Amino acid sequence: MVFPFYWMVISSVKPREELLTYPPVLYTLKPTIEYYKQLFSLIPMQRYLFNSLFVALSVTITNLLLSSLAGYAFAKHKFYGRNFLFTLILGSMMVPWQVNIIPSFIIVKKLGWLNSFYGLIIPAMVNAFGIFFMRQMISTIPNELIDAARIDGCSEPYIFWRIILPLSKPGLATLAIFSFMSQWNNFVWPLIIIHKSDMRTVPLSLAVLNSQFSNNFGLLMAGASISILPMLVVFIFLQKYIVKGIVFTGLKE
């Protein structure tokens, strides 16, 4: 698992003559950043990084908030049709995502959101998995704790912000990683609705690199190395919550 990542990074700093050496060597004696300079000079990579980062962060934040609100409602509030609505949400998870592409595209086009951040962010703001995940996480919080807060006169917004969210940190961190990685790697949806070059995301820019500079192996490895860096940073900072969050979501109330 580590070796492909190492090979990608080391290939991005090898001079061209070492890249063409056979048999290939696992290190370089003359590291260079020439391919990274070429990457930012041939395409507006900084713009593509901003686009992907803005979309991924926006979707992650809204998904955490909306999924937490819905999860709290399904886990700790009793209302008419709760089980039926939750069953519908679970059922939507069984529908292949490809089925929604054409209807989603038609809606986005009619709203005038093609080639815009609205079209990239709003359709992905919340999903069934996030609601299910946070519902399972919040179900592990004792009802007695919430009842005690209500007896003390706490409002529902106060309970949500000061009790539910702090106790749901492992689940929030895990969902944040899933959401961020999903949006950062999203290729098909941006490919469908984005036609302007300045609105491209990182996966689209890598596809352009591969089509135009397929013989420049070092340049492709530099682009891949840059694209994986944000995901690596997010994973390193939040990895300790992953196992804890997944374990908690499997517990029963």
Domain identity same for 11 and 91: no
Q: Does residue 70 sit within a domain?
A: yes
Find how far residue 208's CA is from the centre of its chain.
22
Domain count along the chain: 2
Q: What is the reported pLDDT for 246? A: 59
Domain identity same for 178 and 90: yes
Domain identity same for 113 and 166: yes
Q: What share of the chain is helix, strand, coil (3-state, %, to 5)?
A: 75, 0, 25
Q: What is the reported pLDDT for 253? A: 46
Count CB neighbours of 5 within 10 A: 13
Q: What is the reported pLDDT for 186? A: 93
Tally the C-alpha atoms within 13 A of residue 112's C-alpha that lie toward its C-beta: 0
Q: Does residue 230 sit within a domain?
A: no
Q: What is the reported pLDDT for 32? A: 84
Q: What is the reported pLDDT for 15? A: 82
Residue given tokens 């890249």 in the structure block = 19
Q: What is the reported pLDDT for 252? A: 47
DSSP string, 15-69: -HHHHT-SS--SS-SS---HHHHHHHHHS-HHHHHHHHHHHHHHHHHHHHHHHHH
Domain identity same for 24 and 126: no
Q: What is the reported pLDDT for 201? A: 94
pTM of the model: 0.87
DSSP string, 62-89: HHHHHHHHHHHHHHH---TTHHHHHHHH
Domain identity same for 19 and 83: no
Domain identity same for 17 and 50: no
Q: What is the dihedral of CA 69, 71, 72, 73, to 10 degrees?
A: 90
Q: What is the reported pLDDT for 28? A: 77
Query: Greatest CA span in the chain, whole angstroms?
Result: 74
Q: What is the reported pLDDT for 242? A: 67
The structure tokens listed for 216 are: 């420049």
CATH number at residue 182: 1.10.3720.10
- Rounded distance between C-alpha atoms, residue 49 and residue 53, angstroms: 6
Task: Assess contact for 72 and 138: CB atoms under 8 A.
Answer: yes
Task: Assess contact for 60 and 178: CB atoms under 8 A.
Answer: no
Q: What is the reported pLDDT for 91? A: 92
| Tens digit of each residue's pLDDT, the chain (253 residues) | 688 888 888 888 888 877 777 777 787 778 888 889 988 988 899 999 999 999 999 999 999 999 999 999 999 998 899 999 999 999 998 888 889 999 999 999 999 999 999 999 999 999 999 999 999 999 989 999 999 999 999 899 999 999 999 999 888 988 998 899 999 999 999 999 999 989 999 999 999 888 887 778 888 889 999 998 888 888 777 777 666 655 555 554 4
Count CB neighbours of 213 within 10 A: 17
Q: Which structural domain range is residue 9 located in?
A: 1-33
Domain identity same for 243 and 214: yes
Task: Assess contact for 36 and 14: CB atoms under 8 A.
Answer: no
Q: Is the backbone peptide bond immediately before 23 cis, with ω within 30 degrees of 0?
A: yes
